[in-house]
Chains A and B, each alone.
Chain A
Amino acid sequence: MSILIDANTRVISQGMTGFAGSYHTYRMMQYGTKIVAGVTPGKGGKEHLDVPVFDTVAEAKSTTKANASIIFVPPVSAANAMIEAIEAEMPLIVTVTERIPVLDMVRVREMLVGSKTRLVGPNSQGVLAPDVCQIGVMATDRSRRGSIGVVSRSASLTSEVVAQLTAAGLGQSTSIGIGGDAVHGIGFVECIKLFFDDPATEGIVLIGEIGGNEEEQAADFLRSAGMKKPVVALIAGKHAPAARRMGHAGTLTMHSTGTADSKIDDLKKAGVAIASSSHLVGATMREILKESAA
Chain B
Amino acid sequence: MELYEFQAKQLLAQYGVATPEGRVAVTPEEVERAVKDFGGRTVFLKAQIHAGDRAKAGGVRPAGSPAAAKLAASELLGRKLVTKQTGPEGHLVKRLLVEAAVEGGQEFYLAAMVEPFSGSIMFLGGAGGIDIEERAAKDSSLLERVHLGISGEKKTGDIAAFCERMGPKDHSAKLKPIVDRIHKAFIELDATLIEINPLVLTKSGDFIALDAKIILDDNALFRHPDLAELREMDEIDEIELKAQRSQINFVRLDGDIGVVVNGAGLGLATLDLLHAAGGKPANFMDIRTTAKSLDIANGIGLVLDNPKVKVLFVNVFGGGMQPCDTIIEGLGIALRRKGRVLPMVLRVTGNNEDIAKVRLESFGLPKIHSTDMWQAAQRAVAVAQGKAQ
Contacts and interface: CB of A to CB of B under 8 A. Distances in A.
Contact of B251 (A106, A157, A159, A246): A246
A23 B124 CA distance: 45
3 A-B pairs with least C-beta separation: A154-B265, A156-B263, A247-B264
Interface residues of B, number: 60
A45 interface: no
A163 interface: yes
A75 B222 CA distance: 10
B268 A240 contact: yes
Contacts of A35: none
Given A163-B349, A212-B116, 15 more contacts: A27-B320, A75-B219, A102-B220, A109-B118, A125-B321, A236-B269, A236-B272, A237-B268, A240-B268, A244-B251, A249-B219, A255-B140, A256-B140, A277-B273, A279-B273
Interface in B308-335: 317-321, 323
B49 interface: no
Contacts of B269: 157, 160, 234, 236, 278
B319 A137 contact: yes
B264 A240 contact: no
Nearest to B265: A154
B267 interface: yes
B276 A277 contact: yes
A10 to B, nearest CB: 21
Contact residues of B: prevailing secondary structure: mixed
A247 to B, nearest CB: 3
Interface string B280-291: 010010101110
A152 interface: yes
A246 B190 CA distance: 21
Q: How large is the interface on A (under 10, 10 to 19, 20 to 34, 35 or more residues)?
A: 35 or more
A280 B351 CA distance: 21
Contact of A238 (B151, B223, B275, B323): B275
A103 B265 contact: no
17 contacts: A103-B217, A109-B118, A110-B149, A125-B320, A136-B320, A139-B350, A152-B265, A154-B268, A159-B319, A209-B265, A209-B268, A237-B272, A239-B281, A248-B265, A250-B116, A254-B114, A255-B136
A76 interface: yes
B268 A107 contact: no
A247 B124 CA distance: 27
B121 A106 contact: yes
Contacts of A159: 317-319, 350
A110 B151 contact: yes
Nearest to B186: A103
A251 interface: yes
A240 B251 CA distance: 10
Interface stretch (A56-64, A93-101, A224-232, A285-293): A93-101
Contacts of A160: 266, 269, 317, 373
B241 interface: no
Nearest to A260: B272
